[in-house]
Structure 1
Amino acid sequence: MTLGPNMHNCARYLIFFQYIGTKYSGAVKVPAHQGLKRGVQDHLEDALRRLKPLNPVSLFISSRTDTGVHALSNSAHFDLQRRNDKPIFTENVLVDALNFHLRKEQIRVTSAHRVRDDFHARFCARSRTYVYRLALGIAHHADLPLTEGDLCWNLHNMELDVGAMREAADVLVGTHDFSSFRAVSSDLPFKSPVKTLDVVNIRPGGSFAHAHFHRDIPFWELTFRSRSFLYRQVRRMTGALVAVGQGKLSVPQVKALLEARDSLAYANLLAAPPQGLFLTRVDYRETDLQLPQQTSEEQPPTSVL
């Protein structure tokens, strides 16, 4: 979008938003003929249309999450044009207005930034961080507190060999061809399997209801950070690391799996289910979130719906 000199009622925004992914088909919109579940993007665009923009509004989401995967901080950008007699929305007013229209959904906008007109939420992102939550010693789903229902992977194991898991995690850190850890998808021929995994961290976690539940449940969190990930890469890496913790896979076997560079090499392993996965951060350069001084000064101090 290029803003002309008389288009001060038009702006590009970056929003950060969170959601519980259980009832949604994923982060991005879904064609109507593909099922009853809608994507988070569908609901965000519905909320934007209720603001009555002049332009057809489309979100460009930074990070595509699968059905059942959650986000504490995903992001997207969009252009919004108002009538000539209406000033552009300030960030705070935009957040409040969107959340008003999203109040019946498990989706919330946490912040908004007016950004330059060539900003792109996906391509400007410097890193993405995912956290996978494990609950141990759970023989049945009913053993979990209600607050954890679809927010972790409940394992029968009371203990995991965390030392071996960390050793296997070290194998994955760095720049590698992660073909063995990506699932087959329609865009597979168009994406390089070479990624740089900056962080894999395994540490104790906790229940959201820890202080109020009748027994202690051991929780662990696996944190992954990279500029970008392949389709289902995090869930496949988590499944392999848990297999190591359960003694079903050795560290040399994880290394051999990585070096195989073949998605079929993963076929007999168990990818972690979606409900334990959270997108927790999408990071940008601070300068990318700042408008040029002249444009910033043109922004009105207040706005109305």
Structure 2
Amino acid sequence: MNHQTRYLIFFQYIGTKYSGVVKTLPHQPRRRGVQDHIEDAIRRLKPLNPVSLSISSRTDSGVHALSNSAHFDFQRTIDKPPFSEDILVDALNFHLKAEQISITRAYRVPDDFHARFQALSRTYVYRIAPGLPRPSQLPLMERDMCWNLRHMELDVGAMSEAAATLLGTHDFSSFRAVNSDMPFKNPVKTLDVARIQPGRAFVSEHFHREIPVWELTFQSRSFLYKQVRRMTGALVAVGQGRLSLTKLKDIMEARDSLAYPQNIVAPARGLFLTRVDYRESDLLLSPQTSTGDTQRVTQKLM
């Protein structure tokens, strides 16, 4: 039997029309996952082995990615060499051209490489656009790309102070979705980055002025289900004066998802997975990498 080649791919997508990144099951709704479409594209390249994509980072319906990653094995006939990384990227994108999905990079990796378990960190950015009374007043290309808040007033200083309380290693059980399908996942996470900063503003034709955009950035090795959207919702509630810093600390210390206030979870549409980091020494087969255990391979497309 000809040897299989394992590839790591980085890819981006607009999540609005997909059920999420992972594949859908036969009994699930009609909307398909991003994984379904990428696997279809891989099958069009006629592998001898069954196609199975291992996604590094789960995103829900409506959530976007500027850089997610996954690995898969590909076996060609014995008379054909493995695809080069560049040819693989071009071929997959050719078969994905009807979708809002794009492969940005590929690496040949060792046979025991795992895209999920060997990721060093994941970074999410949440975009907020305050000050427009109705979503219809957003530029069309922004309507599914940010959280439109009706009022301008956000106490960014209070939000930054609240974000600082989330930094470090904590039990984040209170920020886990109540209906999580992974209830036994370790709730103790180390949040390395939690900050709010200005993003690129856009012009509203209705008001003939720029609308500010705020970006909340979170980085950790891994997150609980919907943790980022729940942390974002809590920080926005602090910025609006609906949640005090003391109350936020109480929610954290409760270690109970039912302690999280109802109706403040941030919607999916403003959330982007922006990068997944790997150690370069884990990708030694790829000619696109160099040695150095402390360096990282990152795809960041902002």
Equivalent residue in structure 1 for 2:25, among 31, 38, 42: 31
**1:21 correspondence with 2:15:** yes
Q: Report the equivalent of 2:297.
A: none
Q: Report the equivalent of 1:128.
A: 122
Q: Report the equivalent of 1:301.
A: none
Take 1:210 and 1:83, find their aligned partners in 2: how far apart are those partners? 54
Measured after TM superposition, the shift of residue 185 of structure 1 is: 4.0
Equivalent residue in structure 1 for 2:243, among 241, 249, 259: 249
Paired residues for 1:85-234 under 5 Å: 85-185=79-179, 187-207=181-201, 209-210=202-203, 214-234=208-228
Equivalent residue in structure 2 for 1:7, among 2, 20, 39: 2
Contact 1:240 1:269 in 2 (8 A): no
Take 1:49 and 1:292, find their aligned partners in 2: how far apart are those partners? 23
SS in structure 1 opposite 2:170? strand
TM-score (norm 2): 0.91
Q: Report the equivalent of 1:79.
A: 73
Structure 1, unmatched stretches of 5+, are 1-5, 297-305
SS in structure 2 opposite 1:111? strand
Letter in 2 for 1:275: R
Measured after TM superposition, the shift of residue 87 of structure 1 is: 1.0
CA RMSD of superposed structures (Å): 1.8
Identity, in percent, stands at 71
**1:53 correspondence with 2:47:** yes
Structure 2, unmatched stretches of 5+, are 291-302
Letter in 2 for 1:137: G
**Count of residue pairs brought into register by the alignment:** 287
Report Cα offsets for 1:77-114 as digits up to 9, x if no partner.
Answer: 00000011111000000000000000000000000000
Cα distance change on mapping 1:133 and 1:186 into 2, 3 Å:
closer
SS in structure 2 opposite 1:26? coil
Measured after TM superposition, the shift of residue 289 of structure 1 is: 1.9
Contact 2:108 2:286 in 1 (8 A): no
Take 1:289 and 1:248, find their aligned partners in 2: how far apart are those partners? 47
Take 2:43 and 2:182, find their aligned partners in 1: how far apart are those partners? 33
Cα distance change on mapping 1:51 and 1:154 into 2, 3 Å:
same
SS in structure 2 opposite 1:197? strand
Q: Report the equivalent of 1:70.
A: 64
Take 1:194 and 1:68, find their aligned partners in 2: how far apart are those partners? 26
Cα distance change on mapping 1:262 and 1:186 into 2, 3 Å:
closer
Equivalent residue in structure 1 for 2:275, among 281, 285, 294: 281
Letter in 2 for 1:67: S
TM-score (norm 1): 0.91
User: By percentage of residues, which structure has more helix?
Assistant: 1
- Could you tell which deviates more after superposition, 136-145 or 180-189? 180-189
Paired residues for 1:248-267 under 5 Å: 248-267=242-261
Take 1:196 and 1:60, find their aligned partners in 2: how far apart are those partners? 24
Measured after TM superposition, the shift of residue 187 of structure 1 is: 3.8
Report Cα offsets for 1:151-205 as digits up to 9, x if no partner.
Answer: 0000012120000001110110000000000003454332010000000010001
Take 1:285 and 1:269, find their aligned partners in 2: how far apart are those partners? 39
Contact 2:9 2:104 in 1 (8 A): yes
